[in-house]
Amino acid sequence: MPASQLPFSAGEYERRLTKVRAAMAARDIDVLFVEDPSNMAWLTGYDGWSFYVHQGVVVFHDQDPIWWGRGQDANGAIRTVWMADERVTSYPDRYIQSPTLHPMETLAALLREHGYGRKRIGLELENYYFSAKAYLVLKEALPEAALVDATALVNWQRTVKSDEEIVFMRRAARISEKIVDGIMQRVEPGLKKNDLVAEIYGDAIRGVDDDWGEYPAIVPLLPSGSDAAAPHLTWDGRRFDEGSATFFEIAGCYRRYHVPFCRTVFLGTPPAYMLEAEKALAEGLEAGLEAARPGNRAGDVADALYRSLEKAGIEREGRCGYPIGISYPPDWGERTISFRREDDTVLEAGMTFHFMPGLWMSDWGLEITESILIRDGGPAECLCNRPRKLFVKN
């Protein structure tokens, strides 16, 4: 029987499948193999810590998808996907980490069995979970098929969130607020970083009221002092020092939906240059939120931010935001649109982004960010509601 406690309605899954099939038809793709666990979950409801082995969802134009994966994970699929049990298929464990066998051999056999041995098969080639060896095995096993690059085909269908998805993101936002509130309450000179991270995880997993939390796709990031020049450092056993800033990059997660949120704390009296950067960053965020409206370009948000920073003499390159939603490790972004000046993607109501204009200078860093919802009739809505400032604890 299909899973009895699906996170979304049957109509929601049908809406998603219809969008993906239309995108497949537009690119003349006969069948699509999806290995990204975020896309698997979005299409079918599958949820399990099994993405370290080959697994995926086969999407057809004229029949329900098939979940394909490791034999011991098939029962997890039966308990989480909306399809009937017979749409769950698996390969034996002898294919796992074998020097002579590869799981893609069984996927190729499944595709041939369904009549796709000579068809155009879409693959997520640029993906954390699809290896070069997987591609080579499929290519050898399906010599008459055309293997088509369908990277991010499903991701692009996820950009505009449904009302059901936005409900989940609002719940994740409440968890993000709880995490940040706990950080502000607890952080002080002498506290060990790993002890604070333990409390962060406690707040994240306990959630808010009946809205339980899940593990985030990215671990908490909290570099201090000169280490804050590096945006992706995690934690160690050192203690927080007076006279330094620490930025905290976290995300509440509910039903795999993420709402990232970043704030910076200075223990002591912050230097003038950091206060000036705080002011410029807050003004840039406000300008970006005003630009984040349906019909504007994604690049318009970056333009608005960077103009504010440039007025303050701050140079910043690269993107300053990305779409968010359902995700699994190692990334909570959707890997499609970017808030960068050259991105001409037109914003639509229902899109959700992490507006992330972090400043990482030569020997210090400052992060003040917002997860936002593009909405009709006004600037973007911030999903979290906490002061947009540098927090100071003396």
Helix (H/G/I), strand (E/B), else coil: 214:
coil
Measured CA to CA in angstroms, residue 260 lies from 178, 216, 235, 251, 365 at distances of: 12, 9, 18, 4, 18
* Tally of residues, the chain: 394
Report residue 316 as tokens.
């910043």
Residuewise pLDDT in 10s, the chain (394 residues): 456 689 999 999 999 999 999 999 999 999 999 999 999 999 999 999 999 999 999 999 999 999 999 999 999 999 999 999 999 999 999 999 999 999 999 999 999 999 999 999 999 999 999 999 999 999 999 999 999 999 999 999 999 999 999 999 999 999 999 999 999 999 999 999 999 999 999 999 999 999 999 999 999 999 999 999 999 999 999 999 999 999 999 999 999 999 999 999 999 999 999 999 999 999 999 999 999 999 999 999 999 999 999 999 998 888 999 999 999 999 999 999 999 999 999 999 999 999 999 999 999 999 999 999 999 989 999 999 999 999 999 8
Report the SS3 class of residue 45. coil
| The pLDDT of residue 2 | 58
- At 317 the pLDDT is 83
The two three-digit tokens of residue 82, written as one number? 């909306």
DSSP string spanning 63-130?
Answer: S--EEEEEGGGHHHHHHH-SS-GGGEEEE-GGGTT-SS--HHHHHHHHHHHTT-TTSEEEE--SSTT-
Q: What does the pLDDT read at residue 5?
A: 83
- Map residue 34 onto helix, strand or coil: strand
Distance of alpha carbon 383 from alpha carbon 259, whole angstroms: 8
Which tokens in the block code for residue 97?
């980490």
Task: Tell me which DSSP letter residue 160 carries.
Answer: B
**pTM of this prediction?**
0.96
Q: Which domains does the chain have, with CATH numbers?
A: 10-157 (3.40.350.10), 163-393 (3.90.230.10)
Report pLDDT for 4: 64
